[in-house]
Structure 1
Amino acid sequence: MSDNLIPAIRGALHALRPAERKVAAVVLAELDFAAGASIRELAARAGVSEPSVTRFSRAVGCGSLRQFKRRLSHSLAAGVPYQAVTIDKRDGAALLVHKVCDSIAAALDEMRERTDPAALDEAAALIAGARRVCCIGVGPGCAAVAQEACLRLQRLDIAASAHSDGESQRLAAGLLGAQDALLAISLSGCSAEIADCARIARRQGARTIALTAAGTPLSRDADVPLLLPPSSAATPYSPGVAQLMQLALADMLAIAVALRQQPAVLEKARRAAVGLERAPSAPAPGTVRA
């Protein structure tokens, strides 16, 4: 377990009981309050019983609430988690550069600590052995990541497709079979469209991989969950690190798949990439090639 308790709490969300998850939500939303609150205050703020607070402390690796508060205080002293980075409209350009870069670096460090290698390996094996892979995402961020994941897989000579609207997603999911895989991308993990497509795919016998946050319905229902830290609410001044984290995980997955490919397949993909680089550009309108 990481010395920083904050990533450990996020990583444990999917395994917590409902009451314990309520405590975790309060802690992550109000770190300073949680570090100094009594068991009665924390239980009241979360709307749970005091024993639930004690069970939560033990679930995240602390023997008591006192130990939990001590570790949380040390974590806060060591550094501010990326979701809590505050950018003020009065910040100058130089400070803005530092804050955004620090936020991205902290997010990627947290990913390195909490990404499950076994889940990544299982997802890569599933995709490498699939007849075809359907990548889906809703909303500008997740749809773009689904498209990027699709392109990365296509470069490995994998029959992949990407869909971002509900109708085409449901159609594509309905065409999957027992030899296929669905890669569902949803940061919130609560998208009705994505959940519907995952149900359709499973009904057809396809395996599902979810790129989503821990503790979400999608993470619990997927055959292989690839988990991201929960994202804070976006504001005009908050760094948009969530999509970068999704792209990083999509890169990890594609590279893990490539490592499983046969040399002949990789050579074929290499020749295709070289051919694309050497392809002549289209002539400008009104010009004629000699």
Structure 2
Amino acid sequence: MNAQSPLLQRMAYARQKAPSTRRAILDVMVADPDRVLNESFEQLAERSGSSVPTIMRTCRDLGFAGLREFKLALARDLALGGSPLHRRINLKDSTTEVVSKIAGSASATVAGVRNQLHQPTLEQAVRLIAKAHHIDIVGAGNTSWFMASDLQARLFRLGLSCTAWADYHLQQVAAGAQRRGGVVIAITHVGGMPSLLDAVDIARAQGAKVIAITRPGTALAQRADVLLGLSVPDDAVMHVGIDAYLVHLTLIEILTVLVAQTMGGTAVKRLRGVRQAFQRHGIDVQTHPLQSWEGGGVKRHD
């Protein structure tokens, strides 16, 4: 057991007074907390010889609404008390173990996205994006700015009017130019950057709708008209780690596909046009002979 983990210490103490069925669950959790992070209700129930309702009661005894909330708290606890390299990695782990643990962590994090998204809320965000007269996408920090840029690159291929802003001053200028029928998508894992919050407040005052991609409970989440909340464990090295990076990219892909579905044939036609442009001008060299514009004309290099 990680002696630095307050949650694991609390679990060990709770075990002493727990009924036998819940004690078995706590034993399994304390013995290998990293494995618990990747397990479903059913897998944990089978391994501990208990049931899903008993696991739910055990999590509630510890002060959590369910297994998902418990896992998030446990992951944060392990990250704070674990290795400075990665929350799953020990300094003496082999190359094989490092690859396995990081890949497994990434896979489990992405798989968990489906359980965090509320379908009606997601569909509301999609409708707003598809119908918006203009979309401003803003991010706070290096990772969030990359996400904003990636989402903009996807949405404008569908023919939507959208701009991604990295400069804090321009974010506020863009927000001030918004109006009713427009949308601002704010992306930030931390959710508390003052300049970003100012831009969101300005946009809402102009009548625009705000879609937030951030952690639930943040200042940004409280300001959003539509919250796409994603909770991920803290990273031991980066302020915003690979888990946040992956879940945000996954959500961006989901949003883009759903918006394209909503737009129907119009979106498909525009995407096909983009692909054909790539092929005609030699950008997609894997499916088309490479071309160049040297000498004032197009030349093919077969």
| Same structural fold, with TM-score higher than 0.5 when normalized by the shorter chain | yes
Name the residue aligned to 1:261. Answer: 263
Q: Tell me whether 1:183 sits opposite 2:176 in the alignment.
A: no
Could you tell me how far 1:203 is from its partner in structure 2?
0.7
- Give the aligned residue type for 1:33: Q
Does the residue aligned with 1:155 lie in a helix, a strand or coil? Answer: helix
Name the residue aligned to 1:145. Answer: 147
Could you tell me how far 1:79 is from its partner in structure 2?
12
Q: Percent identity?
A: 24
Name the residue aligned to 2:109. Answer: 107
Task: Say which one has the larger Rg.
Answer: 2
Q: Tell me whether 1:134 sits opposite 2:127 in the alignment.
A: no
User: Do the aligned partners of residues 34 and 255 (structure 1) sit closer, same or farther apart at CA in structure 2, a change above 3 Å counting?
Assistant: farther
Q: State the alpha-carbon separation in 1 of the partners of residues 94 and 260 from structure 2.
A: 43
User: Do the aligned partners of residues 72 and 211 (structure 1) sit closer, same or farther apart at CA in structure 2, a change above 3 Å counting?
Assistant: closer
Q: State the alpha-carbon separation in 2 of the partners of residues 138 and 222 from structure 1.
A: 15
1:105-162 Cα offsets, whole Å, 9 max, x none, are 1212221212111111000000001001111112110000000011110111111110
Q: Any unmatched runs of 5+ in structure 1? A: 1-28, 39-60
Does the residue aligned with 1:161 lie in a helix, a strand or coil? Answer: strand
Q: State the alpha-carbon separation in 2 of the partners of residues 199 and 218 from structure 1.
A: 10
- Give the aligned residue type for 1:175: A
Q: 1:92 aligns with which of 75, 81, 94?
A: 94
Q: 2:223 aligns with which of 212, 221, 224?
A: 221
The structure 1 segments of at least 4 consecutive aligned residues displaced by more than 3 Å after TM superposition are: 61-67, 69-76, 78-85, 280-284, 286-290
Q: 2:61 aligns with which of 34, 58, 68?
A: 68
Name the residue aligned to 1:31. Answer: 7
**TM-score after normalising by structure 2:** 0.69
Does the residue aligned with 2:138 lie in a helix, a strand or coil? Answer: strand
1:7-26 Cα offsets, whole Å, 9 max, x none, are xxxxxxxxxxxxxxxxxxxx
8 Å Cα contact 1:82/1:104 also seen in 2 = no
**TM-score after normalising by structure 1:** 0.72
Could you tell me how far 1:268 is from its partner in structure 2?
2.6
Alignment of 1:155-170 (within 5 A): 155-170=157-172
Q: State the alpha-carbon separation in 2 of the partners of residues 36 and 88 from structure 1.
A: 22
- Give the aligned residue type for 1:104: A
8 Å Cα contact 2:181/2:208 also seen in 1 = yes
Aligned length: 238
Give the superposed CA RMSD. 3.4
Q: Any unmatched runs of 5+ in structure 2? A: 15-53, 79-86, 284-290
Alignment of 1:44-83 (within 5 A): 68-69=61-62
Does the residue aligned with 1:226 lie in a helix, a strand or coil? Answer: strand
- Give the aligned residue type for 2:6: E
Could you tell me how far 1:275 is from its partner in structure 2?
1.3
Does the residue aligned with 2:210 lie in a helix, a strand or coil? Answer: strand
User: Do the aligned partners of residues 170 and 89 (structure 1) sit closer, same or farther apart at CA in structure 2, a change above 3 Å counting?
Assistant: same
